[in-house]
Amino acid sequence: GNYTITVLPGDGIGPEVTNEAINVLNAVASRFGHTFTYHKRLVGVAAIEAEGDAISDASLEVCLQSDAILFGAVGGLASYDGRHKVKPEQALFKLRKGLQFFANLRPVKPLNSLLSASPIKSEVLRGTDLLVVRELTGGLYYGHLEPPVPGKPSEIRQTEQGAVAIDTLLYSDAEIERILRVAFEAARDRKKKVTSVDKANVLSSSVLWRQVANRVAADYPDVTFEHLLVDACAMHLIRKPTNFDVIVTENLFGDILTDEASMLAGSMGMLPSASLGTRKTAHGRLGLYEPIHGSAPDITGQGKANPIAAILSAAMLLQYSLGLKSEAAAIEAAVEQVIQEGYRTEDLREEGAKVLNTQEMGQKIAAA
């Protein structure tokens, strides 16, 4: 078929890894007889410098007109030094909130041939296959401001006693319910277990979260359901990752837990993500696909970036937004094969590994 994909390479290693994802998509196109049309747009620091905003409204419109969005990374060393009034991260917030991508899916499934790359023991890791469903348009990221402006410096108030900064963690039952439903639906296609993570012994928003979660769980009697406090979850993720199937949690907890969980997969450079909402396209749901890693300014331009997270994000794009399941599976199999053959990027360097640069790794996977 014919599909249009908006490409937002962004900052740092974003363009490097996105390029490889596109090479792999092109390999899929020629192998399976599809046509992918790419619309490239600026995002992050480059967009701020060229267009005055981390992502322009015109670019958002292009996203809305396409079948899916492939995103690299934003941010940079100069992000927090006050040089730019607008932060590059605003692009992510605008995309997520503006296009209502409330469900962020982050699968963590360590490859068997990569277990040794993890700081965690192989016997603890073996069999791990979990999915974090992170709420992406609520909580501390957006507060109660209308329109929401995350990290707005004016929320730091000067008082007679000094400066005071306030962030607001707000959830409505409707927001909680819809993300819980995504988790339970996903669990039905998997190992039929949902772990809802909160801090109900401290937070009001977590008390509400628990109430709503219990209500939703009643609609899925075939799915095993449990609550877990976020601190305990941070521990159990490392202690016994095989205990988990679907983990569902609010925005910031999901952010922290997935970075932690990346260690199960050996490197942050391995983990893809999909952000989905309610918008439909001709072929499926509109979605934003991005590696969970950031722009990594320290290794930019050195060919050290691992493109696999971006390539696996492209696979999720094929599956969720374009409805191309076999094509997605072909990419996953190619990644597995190349890793199995002993090829690695810098982040996964090991005794006896054949270390490739970003481009070489992309080409190997495209070829496979």
Say which amino acid occupies 306: N
Tell me, what amino acid is at 4?
T
* From a second copy, ligand IPM, none, interface partner of 285 (C-beta below 5 to 8 A by class): none
DSSP states along 66-108: SSEEEEEE---GGGGTTSSSS-TTHHHHHHHHHTT--EEEEEE
255 as an active site residue: the answer is yes
User: CB neighbours of 30 closer than 8 A, spacing ≥ 6?
Assistant: none
Looking only at the bridges linking them, the beta strands covering 103-108 and 156-159 are unpaired
The residue (of 153 and 301) whose beta carbon lies closer to a second copy is 153
Q: Which does 174 bind (CB under 5 to 8 A by kind): ligand IPM, a second copy, none?
A: a second copy
**Which is catalytic among the residues 11, 87, 141, 245?**
141
- DSSP, collapsed to helix, strand or coil, labels residue 108 as strand
Q: Point out which residues bind a second copy (CB under 8 A).
A: 75, 79-80, 87, 89, 119-121, 124, 140-141, 144, 150-153, 155-156, 161-174, 199-210, 230-232, 234-235, 237-240, 252-253, 255-260, 262-263, 268
Find the helix or strand (DSSP H, E) in which 328 lies: helix 325-340
Smaller CB separation from a second copy, 119 or 221 = 119
Judge whether 199 counts as a catalytic residue. Answer: yes
Binding pattern to ligand IPM, positions 88-117, x when CB under 6 A?
Answer: -x--x-------------------------
198 annotated to bind ligand: no
173 is catalytic: no
Q: Which long-range contacts (CB under 8 A, 24 or more apart) does 61-66 make?
A: 62/6, 63/6, 63/8, 63/95, 63/99, 63/286, 63/288, 64/99, 64/279, 64/286, 65/4, 66/4, 66/5, 66/6, 66/39, 66/281, 66/286
**CB nearer a second copy, residue 85 or residue 280:** 85
* Out of 230, 292, 315, 318, the residue judged to bind ligand IPM by CB under 6 A: 292
* Interacting residues with ligand IPM between 186 and 205 (CB under 6 A): 201-202
Nearer to ligand IPM, 74 or 117 (CB): 74
306 assigned to a ligand binding site: yes
Q: Spell out the SS3 assignment of 261-278.
A: HHHHHCCHHHCEEEEEEE
- Please give the residue ranges that form the binding site for ligand IPM (CB under 6 A): 75, 89, 92, 201-202, 231, 255, 292, 294
The residues assigned a catalytic role are 141, 199, 231, 255, 259
